[in-house]
Amino acid sequence: MSLDVTPSVAHRGFTDRILRRGPLEAVATTIIAAGVVMLMQPFSLTLYSWSFATTLFGTVMFTIVSKVRE
Amino acid sequence: MNELSASSRITYRAVMVRPGVARRIRGLSDKTLAWLFITPTILLLLAINIFPLLWTIYLSFTNYRANRANVPTIWLGADWYRSILTDPDIWAAMQVTAHFVIWTVLIETVLGFGLAYLIDKKFRGHGMWTTIILLPMMLSPAVVGNFWTFLYQPQIGLFNYVVAFFTGRAASSFQMLGDVTLSPWAIVIVDAWMWTPYVMLICLAGLRSIPDYIYEAAEVDRATKWRQFWSITLPMALPFIMLAVLFRGIENFKMFDMVNLLTGGGPGSTTEVASITLKRAAFESWRTGYSSAFAIILFVTVFGLANIYVKALNRVKSR
């Protein structure tokens, strides 16, 4: 009698791996941080002008993805 | 026995006095009761938090001025947002805020962690020293602002005399609050003095949460103290340090009271942080719509940072 000891590996698709709360929250957090840096950096007025839109987008994204399944 | 009989007498009397109310409450479900209890709080929150926020969002799209409330309000769309986000003066205020936030958070984190590391060693009298270190944090920012104004006085201020003692310069030869170069550092020093103990407390909690057996295992492996610090202490205390950094970052981003008392944004606009600019636009120029838009921009930034803060907090809690 032979015993199959090979563990069953669940093959998850690319979307299953990416569309989870953890990675999406990390992306949203990075966008918020980028928006805050753009708001306070002393180098480019254009970056400053786009900072609010970036932070708002990141914040809305964070609020939405925090409801996504784990 | 007496207590039991007394409590049952009270219950009996309560039921006897209002039998109708008691019967009605007994008939309510747990969910209804829960709603009954939290409804006043929700209404209060709606009235003092949510309504002003929604009203501010509305005002940020109009030309409303609080000192001319009778003038008809015109819908301007996103004009104020465009104006603020292309204004070099507001951009300069953001850079002043950035200088204040970066340096205070950096100094407070380094000193706070250092102090926590020392206090964690539990030397003789460490309880007394902890209390002494925590004292500045317990003071009101208004009090701190006032007495540091006296400490920074060029003629009679203690700070100038201490600096004069160490550098050999005359005490009255420099003004911490009146000098364009020194005043941004003056507010950084006061904030660091006041809030380093807070960072120390958070870091101390992080250091105390590290189990002793990890250090014992490292000792067995003959790891040096330096190696233990970099491989055990710092990585395990890092979530707590991040928490302190985020909290102080958010707090200092919206700092108003202390800066207003110390310099009022001066000399010129060298210490004009974003909240001072906002106050000037709202209550000196009476540009209510414009200042509402500015407030919303600051709010979204703080809200975004708070999201990161909550995420970091959850990570710390899950440890």
Which helix or strand (DSSP H or E) is residue B106 part of? Answer: helix B88-119
- Alpha helix stretches (DSSP H) within B209-287: 212-220, 225-228, 234-253, 257-262, 274-283
Which residues on chain A are in Cβ contact (under 8 Å) with B95?
A: 40, 42
Give the distance from residue B259's alpha carbon to the nearest chain A alpha carbon, in angstroms. Answer: 18
Give the distance from residue B81's alpha carbon to the nearest chain A alpha carbon, in angstroms. Answer: 9
Name the residue among B312, B207, B196 with its Cα closest to residue B252.
Answer: B196
Assigned domain for B63 exists: no
**Closest B-chain CA to A56:** B300
Distance, in Å, from the CA atom of B252 to the CA atom of B217, rounded to the nearest integer, reads 40
Assigned domain for B248 exists: yes
Task: Write the DSSP assignment of B31-56 as a string of letters.
Answer: HHHHHHHHHHHHHHHIIIIIHHHHHH
Q: Could you tell me which residues come within 8 angstroms of residue A48 by beta carbon, excluding any fewer than 6 positions away?
A: A38, A39, A41, B85, B91, B94
Query: How many A/B residue pairs have CB atoms within 8 Å?
Result: 52
Q: Does B310 touch chain A (CB under 8 A)?
A: no
CB B254 within 8 A of CB B260: no
CA distances from B231 to B204, B212, B219, B238 (A): 18, 14, 13, 11
Tokens encoding B107:
């100094």
Each residue's pLDDT, cut to its tens digit, for chain B (319 residues) gives 454 455 555 555 544 555 566 666 667 888 888 999 999 999 999 999 999 999 999 999 999 998 888 888 889 989 999 999 999 999 999 999 999 999 999 999 999 999 999 998 878 888 888 889 999 999 998 899 998 999 999 888 899 899 988 988 888 888 889 889 999 999 999 999 999 999 999 999 999 999 999 999 999 999 899 999 999 999 999 889 988 998 999 999 989 999 999 998 878 889 999 999 999 999 999 999 999 999 999 999 999 998 888 888 777 777 6
Assess whether pLDDT exceeds 60 at residue A17. Answer: yes
**Closest A-chain CA to B309:** A29
Look-up of token digits 């340090």:
B241
Give the distance from residue A14's alpha carbon to the nearest chain B alpha carbon, in angstroms. Answer: 25
How many distinct structural domains can be found in chain B?
1
CB B253 within 8 A of CB B262: no
Q: Does A63 touch chain B (CB under 8 A)?
A: yes
**ipTM of the complex model:** 0.80
Domain with residue B186: its CATH number is 1.10.3720.10
Give the distance from residue B111's alpha carbon to the nearest chain A alpha carbon, in angstroms. Answer: 24
User: Rounded to a whole number, what is the distance in angstroms from the first to the last CA of chain A?
Assistant: 40
Query: pLDDT tens digits, residue range A32-69?
Result: 999 999 999 999 999 999 999 999 999 999 999 988 77
Assigned domain for B254 exists: yes
Distance, in Å, from the CA atom of B282 to the CA atom of B291, rounded to the nearest integer, reads 5
Does residue B24 sit in helix, strand or coil?
A: helix
CB B302 within 8 A of CB B254: yes
Which of A40, A55, A63 faces B95 most closely, judged by CB atoms?
A40
The predicted pLDDT at position B69 comes to 82
Chain mean position to CA B253: 8
Which of B81, B101, B308 faces A52 most closely, judged by CB atoms?
B81
Which of B97, B101, B300 faces A59 most closely, judged by CB atoms?
B300
Q: Does A32 touch chain B (CB under 8 A)?
A: yes
Amino acid at B211: P
Which of A36, A48, A66 faces B301 most closely, judged by CB atoms?
A36
Assigned domain for B15 exists: no
Name the residue among B197, B209, B194 with its Cα closest to residue B240.
Answer: B209
Inter-chain residue contact B307 with A28, CB threshold 8 Å: yes
Distance, in Å, from the CA atom of A68 to the CA atom of A70, rounded to the nearest integer, reads 7
Q: Does A35 touch chain B (CB under 8 A)?
A: yes
Tokens encoding B226:
């330096």
Does residue B71 sit in helix, strand or coil?
A: coil
Give the distance from residue B297's alpha carbon to the nearest chain A alpha carbon, in angstroms. Answer: 6
Q: Does B315 touch chain A (CB under 8 A)?
A: no
Q: Does B89 touch chain A (CB under 8 A)?
A: no
The predicted pLDDT at position B313 comes to 79
The predicted pLDDT at position B1 comes to 42
Inter-chain residue contact B85 with A32, CB threshold 8 Å: no
Note down the domain range covering B215: 79-318
Inter-chain residue contact A58 with B304, CB threshold 8 Å: yes
Q: Does A68 touch chain B (CB under 8 A)?
A: no
Q: Does A54 touch chain B (CB under 8 A)?
A: no
Inter-chain residue contact B301 with A39, CB threshold 8 Å: yes
Q: Does A41 touch chain B (CB under 8 A)?
A: yes
Assigned domain for B242 exists: yes
Which helix or strand (DSSP H or E) is residue A33 part of? Answer: helix A21-40
Assigned domain for B97 exists: yes
Distance, in Å, from the CA atom of B60 to the CA atom of A50, rounded to the nearest integer, reads 18
Does residue A2 sit in helix, strand or coil?
A: coil
pTM of the model: 0.81
Q: Could you tell me which residues come within 8 angstroms of residue B36 by beta carbon, excluding any fewer than 6 positions away?
A: B28
Assigned domain for B149 exists: yes
Q: Residues, chain A, total? A: 70
Which residues on chain B are in Cβ contact (under 8 Å) with A34?
A: none
Distance, in Å, from the CA atom of A39 to the CA atom of A51, rounded to the nearest integer, reads 5
Which of B94, B97, B300 faces A55 most closely, judged by CB atoms?
B300
Tokens encoding B210:
């590290």
Does residue B162 sit in helix, strand or coil?
A: helix
Chain mean position to CA B232: 29
Inter-chain residue contact A52 with B85, CB threshold 8 Å: yes
Assigned domain for B59 exists: no
Assess whether pLDDT exceeds 80 at residue A10. Answer: no
Helices and strands: H and E segment counts in chain B: 16, 0
Q: Is residue A3 exposed (0-12), middle (13-18) or buried (19+ Cβ within 10 Å)?
A: exposed
